[in-house]
């Protein structure tokens, strides 16, 4: 459970606020992911970083801005969000995405509420 940590665990923000979500992995992985989890919907892949380079941006609105300063840390910067952005945001990590089917390890998530 402590392999991937996320802070804060809960966040309430207004539509005009700017906040950041933080993820840290202690597993020596070199790929990191952001997912959005909404009730009764499939997990939505948002961003993928491999070897600190963004390799996937899954048509995510620009009000979400990721940052990966090194292979252990991943941020999601939030600004001018909408109420429909309220969800559980999950961070995950895995070995590098070079074709081998490595499983992902997930953090506990940040429960975001946009008011």
Partner 1 sequence: AQSVAQPEDQVKVAEGNPLTVKCTYSVSGNPYLFWYVQYPNRGLQFLLKYITGDNLVKGSYGFEAEFNKSQTSFHLKKPSALVSDSALYFCAVRDMNNFNKFYFGSGTKLNVKP
Q: Does 72 bind partner 1 (CB under 8 A)?
A: no
Total number of residues that touch partner 1 (CB under 8 A): 26
Q: Does 53 bind partner 1 (CB under 8 A)?
A: no
Q: Does 76 bind partner 1 (CB under 8 A)?
A: no
Calpha distance 81→65 (Å, rounded): 11
In the bound complex, what is the minimum distance in angstroms from residue 109's beta carbon to partner 1?
A: 6
Q: How many CB atoms lie within 10 A of CB 55?
A: 11
* DSSP code, position 109: -
Q: How many CB atoms lie within 10 A of CB 17?
A: 14
H or E stretch covering 68: strand 64-70
Residues that bind partner 1 (CB under 8 A): 1, 4, 6, 40-43, 45, 48, 50, 55-56, 58, 90, 92, 97-99, 101, 103-109
């Amino acid at each position: 459970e402590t392999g991937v940590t996320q802070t804060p665990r809960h966040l309430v923000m207004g539509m005009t606020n700017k906040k950041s979500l933080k993820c840290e992995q202690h597993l020596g992985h070199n790929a990191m992911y952001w997912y959005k989890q909404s009730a009764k919907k499939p997990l939505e892949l948002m961003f993928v970083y491999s070897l600190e380079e963004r390799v996937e941006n899954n048509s995510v609105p620009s009000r979400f801005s990721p940052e990966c300063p090194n292979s252990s840390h991943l941020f999601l910067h939030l600004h001018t969000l909408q109420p429909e952005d309220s969800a559980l945001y999950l961070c995950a990590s895995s070995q590098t995405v070079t074709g081998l089917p490595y499983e992902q390890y997930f953090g506990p998530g940040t429960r975001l509420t946009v008011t």
